[in-house]
Amino acid sequence: MANGIYRTPDERFVGLPDFPYVPRYVELGGLRTHYLDEGAGEPILLLHGEPTWSFLYRSMIAALRPRFRCIAPDYIGFGRSDKLTEVAAYSFAFHYGWLERFVDALELTDLTVVVQDWGGPLGLRYATRHRERVARLVILNTGLMSGEAPTLSPGLVRWREYALRTPDLPVGQVIRRSAVDRERISPAIVAAYDAPFPTRAPPSCGRHARRCDRGRSRPSSASATRTRCSLPRSADPSSI
């Protein structure tokens, strides 16, 4: 750990199940971002949620890479990317600025953007602001999380409160408990989701929810509302 940055040791990621992919890195604003870049063809940008990382998309990449270029980054604070140790460093604006720099660095265009969980507020905002780069959207289980009452399901409220009162999230077990078929989430898969955090989880996991964001007064709430209003104008329904 140096200058408030934690980097998970590489040996934590050896031998993960169904994860034969080559790690790639790009330096953005002095922080190392990890990403997968598999296959060739039209690019698909796969944006994960909290508390997961690019491992989430391992099976999807295996199915798609014979026909498409699959790019799956880890946000700062997640996966094999650098982790900031100060809670205050994390915000919606921080993560969104990172996403802008990442797409620019890889010079990605004609994108299919796949969004899940926290990938939704980030990726959908990007799509409305960069229509020239995004060709289509694939929207999975996500929302804009603007703080407006209709968007806050009971499940989301329970998860948020749990994350806020649990500074050291048992990440792998959270994933297992969230699965429809828990028996498919083997101990090896649980360990793979735990791999980025060999010790007490840095603030990116768990307390991330406190920063991104709890109420309509937060800056990201206004951003989410603008995104919601812009989406119908920015997307052809046939490309969602």
Mean pLDDT of the chain: 85
**What tokens were used for 165?**
């009162």
Interaxial angle between packed helices 171-178 and 187-194, expressed in degrees from 0 to 180 and rounded to the nearest 10: 130
Sequence-distant (≥ 6) Cβ neighbours of residue 7 within 8 angstroms: 1, 32, 82, 83
Whose CA is closest to 204, among 172, 163, 175? Answer: 163
CA atoms within 13 A on the CB side of 94: 18
Question: What SS3 class is residue 237?
Answer: helix
User: Which band of pLDDT confidence, cut at 50, 70 and 90, is reported for residue 124?
Assistant: very high
Residue 69 β-bridge partners: 43
Amino acid at 108: L
**What tokens were used for 47?**
């944006």
Residue 44 and residue 138: Cα distance in Å, rounded?
Answer: 10
- Chain segment 76-85, per-residue pLDDT in tens: 999 999 999 8
**What tokens were used for 25?**
């890195």
* Domains of the chain: residue spans and CATH: 5-227 (3.40.50.1820)
- Chain segment 157-205, per-residue pLDDT in tens: 787 788 888 877 889 998 998 888 999 999 999 999 999 998 755 555 5
Q: What pTM was estimated for this model as a whole?
A: 0.86
**What tokens were used for 118?**
């926290």
Amino acid at 107: E
Q: Would you say how long the chain is, in residues?
A: 240
Mean pLDDT of 201-216: 47
**What tokens were used for 219?**
């800056």
Amino acid at 121: P
With beta carbons less than 8 A apart as the criterion, state whether 61 and 53 touch: no
Mean pLDDT of 213-240: 58
Backbone angles phi, psi at 117, to 5 degrees: 55, -125
**H/E segment holding residue 47:** strand 43-47
